[in-house]
Amino acid sequence: MKNLELVKEKINSVNAECAPKKYIALAKKELISFYVENAEKVESMDYAKVEAYDFSSNVRRKACELHIYAKIERKVVGLERHTYAPELNKLHLSNGKTYGVSGKVDIESAIKQVAKEMLAKGGIEEYTSRKVS
């Protein structure tokens, strides 16, 4: 349990400014629960590697992803689904934008896909317009 306690400590000590505090807190909670679920793997890792790993990037990325998800969720008008051609599925937003969400059949998974794509395309700095160290 030595490695798992170190992981929890390092995640909780992260001070990220890429998203509002509630998303940072939620990101920390989700990451800790992920590592607790995979405690066996965490404990089998070398302590020095766990100690040297930078968990702040994981927290920042997850917090920004959650923030983007929340912003998109408020703007969803609907999901256009094609029964015989799911590769044509589209997510429609109130601002007039439409995103292709190939194979997604529910709004939640479609929003997650769009949020991840937006974050990957723009990066954390471009999305937040703040410098992140």
Cα–Cα dist 122/115, whole Å = 11
Is the pTM higher than 0.75? The answer reads no
- Residue spans of the domains in the chain: they are 2-128
pLDDT in tens, the chain (133 residues): 688 888 888 888 887 666 788 888 999 999 999 999 998 998 999 989 888 888 888 888 888 888 888 888 999 999 999 999 999 999 999 989 999 999 999 999 999 899 888 888 875 555 544 444 3
Q: Classify 91 as helix, strand or coil.
A: strand
